[in-house]
């Protein structure tokens, strides 16, 4: 019998959990006489039921785009999926032209300007079916939304349900995609081999250190992801999908995407005849290295992605792969062809085995083999790149000042060689860049107050004048709960003197706050991000969204301490060898600064929540709160390490702790760092009530860290609770579990609000 998440939670905690679906009741418990907003509070249920908007994909002519759209219903425990088609001809937002309902979550690509092909996996027979939907010119001119019945005409079937990341080359009439196979690389027999392997009479797994023993939430198995090419065309009105699936990486031992890729859909790209990809060096251990190479192959469609190498390959697999990277370097990512096919660009870092190293851009000329490195001196780290339609400029995204912005960089302007890229956007998070002709650019835009819309930038003409650029929302996907005015508080940035530098933070004011209520006492949550080389920024996030806390009546204070990204590389790198030093002092100073600047905060109702590295920081605060003159009513730790030295042996990516703590755990220098900054060394000082939340399938920070933290609190007699979620990895994905753990946190904080001081160890 399968237990519900609610029952699992009760069993894990061994204590009853109250229902907190009534957010207004929660806020009233915290602020009995607080003003009530005209709109209802945004709850964890609202959070997980907000529509999820994927990256928009523009058709070849640039006049239509489709947006993957999904929405979860907790009441029915179902998720709906569709493709929404929008026009780019109108500069003002308009309704969806068409919506194609999908029976399951899948992917899609444009075959031509008016033909959309959806790839849908079938769990029953373990295949993937391709269906074509045609958008007639008459239908495109309609002013009403048309929901297309069914998913269209059957194009053909691929012999696996692991096919993903489809790219179509019209010039080569080739469809390129990734799929998981066994070492023989045979796609046709992969499903049969997997069934036989899983049905073997023994359950032994053997590892030799070359591949990950386990990564994220899965143990390594004999399968890996590879690149495939198959002919696809329409002849005499009939679809022709080839039955010969060419493995473009056959004989290379390359994996595309790599097991630990952060952006697997962009680990390869295709041109008219070739595929470029990035992949980890198969001669190096995955757990110890980040190094990737790039390669290419003459192909009607060829692409390869490696964690640190770049390769080129023919799209039909008619010639061997060719490595484009060589020598000492770090990770490579995001390889892209220029529209004319003459150039390839990718992101590269300089040091192998390093985390959050600064990226620069490499531009490779396929005709001359010349290699140009640019933006080495720019104090920002690009996260994605795209060529302009005329192949003369680059568009980039990069974190900057707690945002992820869009930048423009001309390749052939002599003045640009020393100039920084031009900033095109100012707020939020930008992703999914797609440059269009006539100085236009499409991207997806998210903020702390907006879960996502597709935006068109126009008037991007060289020389670029940022003030002349126009921005238009192509989609309006916000549901009513988010459309109402003044639902969310925008982030209020502040800066303060940290341990060794100016440090950034921001505040979200609670629901119900008004200037005339400024003297009221409000509870506060210190929100500590993971990483440590990540950031708390202006972006929508489902598992860890600070707006949910502000909507329950809390001030939210978020600090970007030493180690956070987007503020320059020195700011980020200063955390190396100092996980528990400057960052802890920065957080302390930043929180005290916020208490001083916002006197309406009640310091006696101060709480703190942290995820991953933030959870590590919660454990560290437990041991140092008194000496730092900090007092919290309660803590919540989600997936944070307990024993840093032991964590260095159990983490899936061994290079991370080796790099961040300046060596292996047994080395004398590293031992001194562990002695100073490992939370378990200060358990004797732990005294603040703490909730601990962990996923049972977390292989980044194993669940034993959560159990050890809880046991230490119990041994100390500190009020504490442990909530374990079955099958959840480091970042939770089950919508029901996301709701439950938020409610568990709010219940825990409410229990210790107003100085209730329940001293019993729960």
Q: Give the pLDDT score at 326.
A: 74
The stretch 118-145 carries a mean pLDDT of: 79
Q: Give the pLDDT score at 301.
A: 27
**Are 48 and 735 a contacting pair, CB within 8 Å?**
yes
Residue pLDDT, tens place only, 219-238: 989 999 999 999 999 998 89
Q: Give the pLDDT score at 208.
A: 85
Non-local (6+) Cβ contacts of 218 within 8 A are 699
Confidence label for 130 from pLDDT (cuts 50, 70 and 90): very high
- The pair of structure tokens assigned to 322 is 């060719």
**Are 342 and 391 a contacting pair, CB within 8 Å?**
yes
Q: Count other Cβ atoms within 10 Å, centred on residue 209.
A: 11
Q: Which residues of 620-651 are buried (b: 16+ CB within 10 A; e: fewer)?
A: bbbbbbeeeebebbbbbbbbbbbbbbbbbebb
Q: Give the pLDDT score at 277.
A: 96
Non-local (6+) Cβ contacts of 236 within 8 A are none
760, burial (CB in 10 Å: exposed 0-12, middle 13-18, buried 19+) = exposed
User: 179: which strand partners?
Assistant: 226
Non-local (6+) Cβ contacts of 731 within 8 A are 543
The stretch 231-259 carries a mean pLDDT of: 93
User: 71: which strand partners?
Assistant: 80
Residue pLDDT, tens place only, 557-592: 999 999 999 999 999 999 999 999 999 999 999 999
Q: 702 or 761, which is more confident?
A: 702
User: 422: which strand partners?
Assistant: 408
DSSP state of 738: H
Sign of the C-alpha dihedral, residues 28, 29, 30, 31?
Answer: positive
Q: Give the pLDDT score at 474.
A: 87
Q: Alpha helix locations (H) across 114-267?
A: 137-140, 190-198
Bond into 580 cis (ω within 30): no
Q: Which residues of 52-79 are buried (b: 16+ CB within 10 A; e: fewer)?
A: bbbbbbbbeebebbbbbbebbeeeeeee
User: 134: which strand partners?
Assistant: 115
Residue pLDDT, tens place only, 52-90: 888 999 999 999 999 999 999 999 999 999 999 998 875
Bond into 600 cis (ω within 30): no
What does pTM read for this prediction? Answer: 0.89
Q: Give the pLDDT score at 475.
A: 85
Q: What is the set of domains in the chain, with CATH numbers?
A: 56-158 (no CATH), 492-755 (3.40.50.1820)
The DSSP element (H or E) to which 657 belongs, if any, is helix 654-660
The stretch 108-136 carries a mean pLDDT of: 93
């Amino acid at each position: 019998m399968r237990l519900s998440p609610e029952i699992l939670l009760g069993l894990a905690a061994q204590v009853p959990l109250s229902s907190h679906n009534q957010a207004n009741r929660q806020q009233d418990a915290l602020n009995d006489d607080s003003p009530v907003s005209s709109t209802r509070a945004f709850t964890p249920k609202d959070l997980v039921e907000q529509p999820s908007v994927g990256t928009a994909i523009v058709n070849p002519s640039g006049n239509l785009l489709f947006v993957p759209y999904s929405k979860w219903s907790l009441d029915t425990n179902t998720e709906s999926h569709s493709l929404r088609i929008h026009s780019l001809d109108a500069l003002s937002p308009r309704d969806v032209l068409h919506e194609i309902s999908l029976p399951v979550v899948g992917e899609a690509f444009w075959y031509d300007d008016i033909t959309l092909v959806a790839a849908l996996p079938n769990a029953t027979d373990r295949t993937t079916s391709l269906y074509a939907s045609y958008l007639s010119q008459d239908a495109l001119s309609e002013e009403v939304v048309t929901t297309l019945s069914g998913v269209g005409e059957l194009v053909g079937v691929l012999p696996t349900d692991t096919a993903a990341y489809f790219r179509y080359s019209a010039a080569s009439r080739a469809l390129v995609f990734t799929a998981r196979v066994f070492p023989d690389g045979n796609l046709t027999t992969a499903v049969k081999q997997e069934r036989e392997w899983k049905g073997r009479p023994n359950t032994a797994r053997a590892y030799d250190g070359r591949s990950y023993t386990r990564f994220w939430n899965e143990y390594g198995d004999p399968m890996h992801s590879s690149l495939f090419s198959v002919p696809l065309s329409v002849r005499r009105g009939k679809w022709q999908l080839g039955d010969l699936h060419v493995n473009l990486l056959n004989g290379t031992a390359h994996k595309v995407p790599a097991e630990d890729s952060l952006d697997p859909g962009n680990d390869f790209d295709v041109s008219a005849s070739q595929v470029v990809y990035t992949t980890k060096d198969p001669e190096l251990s995955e757990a110890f290295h980040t190094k990737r190479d790039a390669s290419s192959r003459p192909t009607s469609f060829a692409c390869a992605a490696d964690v640190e190498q770049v390769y080129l390959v023919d799209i039909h697999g008619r010639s061997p792969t060719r490595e484009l990277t060589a020598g000492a370097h770090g990770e490579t990512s995001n390889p892209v062809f220029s529209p004319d096919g003459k150039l390839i660009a990718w992101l590269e870092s300089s040091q192998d085995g390093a985390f959050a190293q600064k990226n620069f851009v490499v531009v490779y000329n396929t005709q001359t083999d010349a290699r140009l490195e640019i933006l080495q001196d720019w104090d920002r780290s690009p996260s994605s790149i795209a060529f302009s339609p005329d192949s003369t400029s680059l568009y980039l995204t990069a974190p900057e000042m707690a945002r992820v912005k869009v930048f423009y960089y001309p390749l052939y302007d002599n003045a640009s060689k020393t100039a920084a890229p031009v900033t095109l956007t100012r707020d939020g998070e930008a992703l999914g860049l797609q440059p269009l002709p006539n100085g236009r650019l499409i991207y997806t835009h998210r903020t702390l107050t907006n879960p996502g819309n597709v935006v068109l930038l126009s008037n991007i003409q060289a020389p670029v004048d940022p003030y002349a650029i126009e921005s238009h929302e192509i989609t309006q996907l916000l549901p009513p709960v988010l459309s109402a005015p003044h639902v969310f508080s925008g982030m209020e940035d502040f800066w303060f003197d940290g341990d060794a530098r100016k440090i950034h933070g921001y505040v979200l004011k609670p629901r119900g706050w008004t200037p005339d209520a400024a003297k009221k006492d409000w509870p506060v949550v210190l929100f500590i991000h993971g990483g440590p080389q990540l950031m708390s920024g202006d972006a929508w996030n489902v598992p860890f969204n600070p707006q949910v806390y502000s909507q329950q009546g809390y001030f939210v204070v978020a600090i970007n301490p030493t180690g956070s990204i987007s503020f320059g590389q020195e700011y980020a790198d200063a955390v190396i060898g100092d996980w528990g030093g400057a960052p802890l002092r920065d957080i302390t100073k930043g929180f005290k600064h916020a208490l001083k600047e916002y006197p309406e905060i009640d310091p006696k109702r101060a709480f703190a929540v942290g995820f991953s590295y933030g959870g590590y920081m919660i454990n560290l605060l437990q041991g140092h709160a008194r000496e730092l003159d900090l007092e919290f009513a309660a803590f919540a730790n989600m997936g944070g390490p307990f024993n840093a030295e032991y964590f260095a042996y159990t983490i899936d990516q061994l290079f991370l702790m080796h790099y961040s703590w300046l060596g292996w755990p047994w080395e004398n220098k590293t031992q001194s760092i562990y002695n100073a900054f490992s939370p378990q060394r200060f358990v004797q000082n732990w005294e603040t009530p703490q909730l601990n939340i962990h996923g049972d399938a977390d292989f980044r920070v194993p669940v034993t860290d959560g159990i050890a933290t809880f046991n230490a609190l119990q041994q100390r007699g500190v009020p504490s609770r442990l909530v374990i979620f079955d099958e959840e990895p480091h970042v939770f994905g089950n919508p029901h579990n996301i709701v439950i753990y938020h409610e568990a946190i709010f219940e825990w904080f409410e229990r210790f609000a107003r100085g209730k001081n329940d001293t019993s160890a729960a």
